[in-house]
Amino acid sequence: MLSVSNLDVRYGQFRAVQGVSMNIDQGDIVSLIGANGAGKSTLLRAIAGALPIHSGRVSFKQHDVTTTSSSARVKQGLSLVPEGRRLFADMTVEENLLLGTTVKRSGDWSIERIFATFPNLVKRRHAKTGNLSGGEQQATAIGRALMSNPDCLILDEVSLGLSPLVVDQVYASIDSLKDAGTTILLVEQDLERAIRFSHRAICMLEGKIVLDKLTSDTNKEEITHAYFGLQQSKHQEASQ
């Protein structure tokens, strides 16, 4: 479904993403993990075409999309919910959701299905999104991406700024996408939730992938080691 090879993304001279490669199959649920500044958002935005890459390749459904615009990638079924939600604050929930249909991809998602998936939005249908709670904004942002009927949904920090109860609700909604076979790549800082929710965990450290495993083959301790680069320091200690 999604293939990234040897991707480098730079801000000036700074290599925020370095030589990253990964393959994600159709229906995979993958959690991207890593400390602040590890390069997760940069990677996701580059995959979605929201950020230019320095070198490497991105393929989606076996088409090279490396130089394809972000809107063309959405048309092909690759949709990003960015960190910070980026809604149009003066527009209503419904109007924001309808923006997702402008790409005119066919599929099962409709306004009514979004409201059935995110029942907390029903009463807020005609409210301006600038006046919504964090959880309602997050649901609207995810709903807007779903309205484009994506084959692959990329979610950057779904839990950011939400209370644990609301995070549970958002995840329960995302969970229902698993059955529809949607491929999901998401950033999740809560390691236990990432292990529980996803098939695979990919951990980044300083722009590189340091762990890529099925969640059934790893555990919190191993991911924590990768997260802090502890294996690396042990290796360095041994070589000193």
Ligand X SMILES: Nc1ncnc2c1ncn2[C@@H]1O[C@H](COP(=O)(O)OP(=O)(O)OP(=O)(O)O)[C@@H](O)[C@H]1O
Residue of the chain from 18, 31, 41, 120 that contacts ligand X (CB under 6 A): 41
Q: Which is nearer to ligand X, 58 or 147 (CB)?
A: 58
Residue of the chain from 38, 53, 147, 186 that contacts ligand X (CB under 6 A): 38
SS3 string, 38-103, reads CCHHHHHHHHHCCCCCCEEEEEECCEECCCCCHHHHHHHCEEEECCCCCCCCCCEHHHHHHHHHHH
Instruction: Check binding of 16 to ligand X (CB under 6 A).
Output: yes
Phi (first) and psi of residue 65, to 5 degrees = -115, 15
Residue of the chain from 34, 49, 77, 143 that contacts ligand X (CB under 6 A): 34
Integer Cα distance of 75 and 82 in angstroms: 17
Which residue shows structure tokens 């972000």? Answer: 70
Q: Which is nearer to ligand X, 81 or 93 (CB)?
A: 81
- Neighbour tally for 141: CB within 10 Å: 24
Q: Which is nearer to ligand X, 16 or 185 (CB)?
A: 16
If we measure between CA atoms, which residue out of 185, 239, 198 comes closest to residue 20?
A: 185
- Which part of the chain contacts ligand X (CB under 6 A), choosing from 29-37, 96-104, 140-148, 231-239? 29-37
| Cβ 40 to ligand X shortest distance, Å | 4
Residue of the chain from 25, 26, 37, 63 that contacts ligand X (CB under 6 A): 37
If we measure between CA atoms, which residue out of 146, 161, 30, 158 comes closest to residue 82?
A: 158
| Cβ 227 to ligand X shortest distance, Å | 11
Binding residues vs ligand X (CB under 6 A): 11, 14, 16, 34, 36-42
